[in-house]
Amino acid sequence: MNRREMLAGALASASAGWELGAAGVPNTYLELKTWQLHNSAEDQPARVQAFLEGGLGPALSRSGTRLVGAFGNVIAPEGPFYITVVEYPTLAAMEETMAKLGGDERYQSAVEKLGTGPGLPFVRVESSLLRSFDAMPRAAIPEHTVTQRARIFELRRYESQTFATLKRKVAMFNDAEAHIFERLGMRPVFFGETIVGPKQPNLMYMLSYDDLAARDRLWSEFGNDPEWKKLRARPELSDAQIVANISNMLLRPLAFSAIR
C-alpha cells in the first residue's frame, strides 16, 4: 500500500461520515473567494450572507456543483470578511458552471437583489483557484450537517521562494506532513496549490479543531512529534529552504456551511 492509499484510508476511518478522496480519485479544483466587508448602516455582512445562502448556494446546486464551505473571520487581519469555497471536478466543469449561472434567472435575480439597497453590498471580492494535492484530492465534506457542532477552522498559506521550492513543499505534504496532521487529530479539510491568485508561488490548506484550546494543544503536539522533527531535519526540507512566509487566519462556519 502506498502513502496516498494509507492516508486516504486513515482519513476515512478517522472521519466517518465525511466524503474524502481515495487512491485513484482525480485531483479537484477549489475556488476560494474572500468577500471583504465593512460594518456600517449598509449591513454588508447580512446582505452578503443572505445572498450566499439563498442565491449562490442553491444556484450552484442547480448547476451540479456545491458551495462546500462558507466562513466568517474570528481572528484574522482586515476583517470583517467571508470566505467561500466551491469545489469543481475539472476546469471544464468550472466553465460549465459559470455558463449555467449566467443563464439561471433565479440566480441573476439574487445578484440584482444583492446590489439593491443603501450603499454597496460589499467592499471587494478576491478569488484564488487551487489544485488539490494528491494526498487529499477532494475536500472533506460531512454527509450530515444538522447535528454537526460548528468548529474552529484555520486557513494557512505558505509562500515559497520559487516554483521549484514550492514543488518540494507540496511533496512534503503528500509524502508525510498531511498524514501527521491526520494522525494527531488536526482534521484536514483540504490542501491545494494556488494556480490563480495573489502571492504566488504558494499553497493553502485548512485544518479544523473543536475549539481554540484544542488548536493550541494540537499545534504543540505537532511541533514535538518525532516524525515531524525527523522530516523537517532534512536540510532540503527546512523552512529556510522551501517556505518564505506563513500566514494564517481563524474562521468560523456560517450557519448554512456544508463544512462545519
Tens-place pLDDT, residues 111-147: 999 999 899 999 999 999 999 999 999 999 876 555 5
- Taking alpha carbons only, the member of 163, 86, 177 closest to residue 135 is 177
Q: What is the pLDDT of residue 148?
A: 63
d(CA 134, CA 174): 6
> Which residue numbers in the chain have pLDDT < 50?
1-21
The residues near 66 (Cβ < 8 Å, ≥ 6 apart) are 60, 86, 87, 141, 258
In order of start, what are the domains of the chain with their CATH numbers? 1-26+133-138+153-254 (3.30.70.100), 28-131 (3.30.70.100)
Contact 169, 240 (CB under 8 A): no
Sign of CA dihedral 188, 181, 196, 74: positive
- DSSP assignment letter at 26: P
The residue among 81, 77, 69 whose CA lies nearest residue 45 is: 81
What pLDDT sits at residue 216? 97
Q: Report the pLDDT value the prediction gives residue 149, as an integer from 0 to 100.
A: 75
Compute how many other C-beta atoms are within 10 angstroms of the C-beta atom of residue 67.
Answer: 21
Cis status, amide bond into 201, omega within 30 of 0: yes
Q: Rounded CA gap, 139 and 69, in Å?
A: 10
Quick one: pLDDT at residue 144? 55
Q: What is the structure's pLDDT at 2?
A: 45
Q: Which residue has the cell 500566514?
A: 247
Q: Which residues pair with 247 in a beta bridge?
A: 157
Question: CA quadruple 259, 182, 31, 126: dihedral positive or negative?
Answer: positive
* DSSP letter (8 states) at residue 184: H
Distance (Å, rounded) from C-alpha 259 to C-alpha 117? 30
